[in-house]
Amino acid sequence: MKTDDVVIEVKKLKKAYGKNQVLKGIDLKVQRGTMLALLGPNGAGKTTTVKILSTLLKADDGVAKIEGIDVSEDPDAVRRVIGLTGQSAAVDELLTGRENLVMMGELYRLTRKSAKARAQELLEDFDLVKAADRPAKTYSGGMRRRLDLAVSLIAIPPVIFLDEPTTGLDPRSRLAMWEIIRRLMDSGTTILLTTQYLEEADQLADKIVVIDGGKVIAEGTAEELKGKVGNDRLEIGFANASDLNKAKSAIGKNVFASNDKENSITVMVKDTNTDIKDTLNLLSDKKIKVTAVDVHKPTLDDVFLSLTGKTDKKSTEGEK
């Protein structure tokens, strides 16, 4: 296994729906056995990218190769090496979990015997043994997603696309899903994950590519990206506009954003240990009265704010 082996390669990928240019030239590279997270708000072009890579859509321009095979030249060959878990759980609701797995296995051209054995193994791995012989429509949201992911692994494809695998899941199911994805990574599978959640990309991915409006706006490891947006955020509220302005001039360039309507500011915290205390002491020394204090982790919104200088309302709605 070569470490410089590129499994997914995307160059200048473009796609428009009518006048709406969804992808404006995306470049990606995913090394063998690593996970790349495509991070961005709704409408950024994440799903469109995955659809093109998994042969569901044709690109207008640019090149996309999986294992060196061009997706537009030989889609069937690409289909043999990929697994796709889309946003809507794509399982047959009237069939049982086991029947779904065996059916998809056979459609991947496994022998029936082999498909059955592999189905049993996946049901055990994904904690679905008890529900194996119940129709999938009786499954909970988390179970359905697990089945959906299991289905895409039936023929052990070397490349997996996970399109927002945890969107809409409750926190416990999300953690269970992360655990499964980590095991998948340990097995050496190359993964492209899309997500709206910085934390998810942070927890799982080797490398993160941030996209917005169909363009790559930043890429790097989770650490590198967080370095750009700082660590924690300190939000301070004031009684009136004059206190707010006094505070702004006292804190200076560390003010990350200010909200004049609510008389509040957001301050970047580089070192949680000292910066919060120092900032509040500074305000107290200047006799500026503080009415509210809140510390929070950087959200996708903060990443966008710092990368593009604009807030994206949709992305925050998705997180709350």
Partner 1 sequence: MAVELEFSKSPRFLQLLNDSVVMIRRSSTHIFRNTDQLLGAFFQPIMFLLLFSAVFGGAISLALPENVDYLDFLMAGIIVQTVAFGSTTTAVAVANDLSKGIVDRFKSLPMSNIALLNGHVVSDLLRNTISTVVMILAGLVIGFRSPASVTDWFLIAALLLLFTFAFSWLSAVVGLLAKSVEGVQWISFVMVFPLTFASTAFVPAEGMPKYLRYFAEHQPITQVIEAVRSLMLGVPTNGSVLRSILWSIGITVVVIPIAAYLFKKKTTN
Nearer to partner 1 among residue 74 and residue 271 (C-beta): 74
Total of chain residues touching partner 1, rule CB under 8 A:
40
Whats the size of the chain, residue-wise? Answer: 320
Nearer to partner 1 among residue 90 and residue 276 (C-beta): 90
Contacts (CB under 8 A) with partner 1, residues 154-193? 155-156, 187
Instruction: Give the range of 113-121, 213-221, 242-250, 278-286 binding partner 1 by CB under 8 A.
Output: 113-121
> How far apart are alpha carbons 121 and 220 in whole angstroms?
36
Contacts (CB under 8 A) with partner 1, residues 41-80? 51, 54-58, 76, 79-80
Q: Would you count residue 111 as binding partner 1 (CB under 8 A)?
A: yes
Contact predicate 228/221, CB 8 Å: no
> How far apart are alpha carbons 200 and 12 in whole angstroms?
26
Contact predicate 192/36, CB 8 Å: yes
Q: Assign 271 to helix, strand or coil.
A: coil
Among positions 6, 16, 69, 103, the unique one binding partner 1 when judged by CB under 8 A? 103
Nearer to partner 1 among residue 110 and residue 269 (C-beta): 110
> How far apart are alpha carbons 261 and 282 in whole angstroms?
23
Residue type, 102: V
Instruction: Give the range of 4-12, 149-157, 168-176, 217-225 binding partner 1 by CB under 8 A.
Output: 149-157
> How far apart are alpha carbons 195 and 38 in whole angstroms?
6
Residue 292 β-bridge partners: 237
- Looking at residue 260, the DSSP 8-state letter turns out to be T
Among positions 5, 68, 73, 94, the unique one binding partner 1 when judged by CB under 8 A? 94
Residue ranges in contact with partner 1 by CB under 8 A: 51, 54-58, 76, 79-80, 82, 84, 86-92, 94-95, 99, 103-104, 106-111, 113-114, 117-118, 121, 135, 151-152, 155-156, 187
